[in-house]
Amino acid sequence: MNRRHFLLAAASSLALPALSRPAFATARKLTVASRTLDINGKAATVYGLTDDAGRPGLTLAPGERFAVDLANRLDEPTIVHWHGLTPPWPQDGVPDNPLPALAPSETRSYDFAVSHPGTFWMHAHTLQEQNLLAAPLIVHSAEDLTADRQEVVVLLHDFSFTPATELLARLTKGSGQSMHGMAHGPMQMGGMKMDGMGGMDMGSQSMGSMKMGSMDHGAMQQAMPGGMDLNDISYDAYLANDRTLDDPEVITVEKGGRVLVRLINGATATQFTIDCGSLAASLVAVDGYPVEPLSGARFPVTMGQRLDLLLEIPATGGAFPILALREGGVERTGVILATAGAPVGRLAVAGEDAGPVLDLSVESRLIARTQPPQAPIAARHDVTLAGDMMSYTWAMQGAEAIVLTQGHRVAVTMANRSMMAHPMHLHGHRFQVIAIDGKPISGAVRDTVLVPPGRSVTIAFDADNPGTWPFHCHHLYHMASGMMVHLPYAS
């Protein structure tokens, strides 16, 4: 038995506590059940996650434990992952890692301390995620309860009337609309027309003397003989809090007030740019962790990520759309913040211009407000993100060789040699972005980071939570087509 197989066996043999809680603990209840939405004038049967008062998701008070009874009221097995929290491994919520999915009518108890307040979320770690099995998970701090501001939570999603299994089959078998169901026509990038690149695999292409690491996104596009692949599924609708933009949620806010928008990209395969319009906006946290405030009007958010945006409402009042612009497409969704009595006009689902292509320009400017302890890095690993649209197979080359040791600080450099962007998520840990294209930064603390084509991102984390932890792309169909590994280590 080699060392890696030994560690897999050791991690798998960790004591698996019965998911029970002390007699004095009070449990919250979460229920997974079907529900019906009206989407584009058609009835859609989707899934939902509601608390004991019937509200979507869960909000925890400062210092409250995650003491939850999860009830499955579907007629099929399911399980829920607590994205961004760092529970003991058996309570992470990935099927058969190590616990099986909940059977129909089964209830399972979870109980663990929550290490940090912030904006998190929960979702199925199966194809059920596509059918809206996702909800916010907000952990308040004491400051949140006393701050002079209103809170708004927005969960974004992409929706298809086509079942996820069929979407995946189209992608992997090459059937469906256009190429693999992809909106694959020419796209506009910085005024330059780019044709879709289809199956170009950066991992097998010689780039000659071109220095990919030091190149910015725009330069990379000009140097390539074509463009990157942006969207591989054309969805029927894009949702914000379960609603399309032709029937958006209108949220009443105060004139001259401040609003903290906790925005979650729960989409399975769609990246967005958040457009705050005329409002003064400041990005104050990402993935639940504070950053030095960054002012702007537009902010990128990839699948799995969260943004906390602090907005200033003018004293004159009005109606203010907060829009999510689909990357490379005219489709958009969002909510409207409106003061009392302000007229609210109708907004078209399709904008005039395609949404921006996500890059690392904002990521490179983020600085963690509280720097994690800078222990020496004990091990460094390189991972190549590879794959192509033609075969629709994706891989994390080199990741299977990563061996973790309890207590070590680890750095992983992810280099994307494919033609699609990959939002990379690590379970059970938080990490800091410490370099982009080899250039050191004291970046944001996160659990999900975007690695665009031709770019590299280095993260560092402490191996302080033993288990067998998924490390994967948060594009659901990339994950299902090979872009996930498990990092095991024992205490």
CATH number of the domain to which 78 belongs: 2.60.40.420
275: in domain: yes
- Structural domain includes residue 158: no
Are residues 382 and 337 part of one domain?
Answer: no
| Mean pLDDT to the nearest integer, 356-379 | 95
Which are the contacts of 5, defined by CB distance < 8 A and separation ≥ 6?
A: none
Q: Which of 95, 115, 147 is the last residue in one of the domains?
A: 147
**Does the pLDDT of residue 264 top 60, yes or no?**
yes
Query: Residues 379, 333: one domain?
Result: no
pLDDT digits (tens, 9 = 90+) for 186-237: 233 332 333 233 333 333 333 333 333 333 333 333 233 345 789 999 999 9
138 bridge partner residues = 59, 119
CB 383 within 8 A of CB 415: yes
Residue 48 lies in a domain: yes
- DSSP assignment, residue 37? E
Residue 191 in domain: no
178 found inside a domain: no
Residue 433 corresponds to which tokens in the numbers above?
A: 């972005």
pLDDT digits (tens, 9 = 90+) for 439-450: 999 999 999 999
Whether 153 shows a pLDDT value over 90: the answer reads: yes
In degrees, rounded to 5, the angle at the alpha carbon of residue 92 between the alpha carbons of residues 91 and 95 is 100
Q: Are residues 351 and 261 in the same domain?
A: yes
Same domain membership, residue 353 and residue 374: no
What backbone torsions phi and psi does residue 119 show, to the nearest 5 degrees?
Answer: -95, 110
Query: How far is 433 from 455, CA to CA, in rounded Å?
Result: 14
> Is the pLDDT confidence value at 309 over 80?
yes
Band (pLDDT 50/70/90 cuts) for residue 26 is: confident
Inform me whether the pLDDT recorded for 409 exceeds 70. yes
**What is the span of the domain harbouring residue 267?**
237-358
Same domain, 354 and 374: no
Q: Same domain, yes or no, for 344 and 396? A: no
Last residue of a domain, one of 96, 118, 147: 147
The percentage of residues in the chain with a pLDDT greater than 70, rounded to a whole number, is 84
Residues 63 and 32 in one domain: yes
For residues 417-430, give the mean pLDDT.
98
12 within a domain of the structure (yes/no): no
> Do 262 and 294 share a domain, yes or no?
yes
178 pLDDT exceeds 90?
Answer: no
Range with the poorest average pLDDT among 41-45, 148-152, 193-197, 342-346: 193-197
Token pair 């469906």 is at which residue?
Answer: 176
Q: How many domains does the chain have?
A: 3
Q: From CA 227, how far away is CA 48, in angstroms rounded?
A: 37
Question: Can you tell me the distance from the alpha carbon of 421 to that of 399, in angstroms, rounded to the nearest whole number?
Answer: 18
The pLDDT of residue 25 is: 58
Q: Are residues 354 and 398 in the same domain?
A: no
pLDDT value at residue 9? 43
**Same domain for 343 and 410:** no
Q: Secondary structure of the chain: what % helix, strand, coil (to 5)?
A: 10, 40, 45
Q: Which of these three, 91, 116, 147, is where a domain ends?
A: 147
Q: Are residues 266 and 347 in the same domain?
A: yes
Alpha carbon distance 473, 424 (integer Å): 4
Nearest to 257 by CA among 317, 330, 195: 317
Sole residue written with tokens 């792309």 = 473
Q: What rounded mean pLDDT belongs to the chain?
A: 87
Q: Is residue 97 part of a domain?
A: yes
Mean local confidence (pLDDT), 266-271: 98
Strand-pair category, 28-39 with 66-72: parallel
Asked whether residue 40 is domain-assigned, the answer is yes
- For residue 174, the model assigns a pLDDT of 56
Higher pLDDT, 200 or 252: 252
pLDDT at 120 over 60: yes
- Asked if residues 134 and 307 have their Cβ atoms less than 8 Å apart, the reply is no
One-letter amino acid of 387 = G
Q: What is the mean pLDDT of residues 16-25?
A: 48
Residues 324 and 435 placed together within one structural domain of the fold? no
Band of residue 374 on the pLDDT scale cut at 50, 70, 90? confident
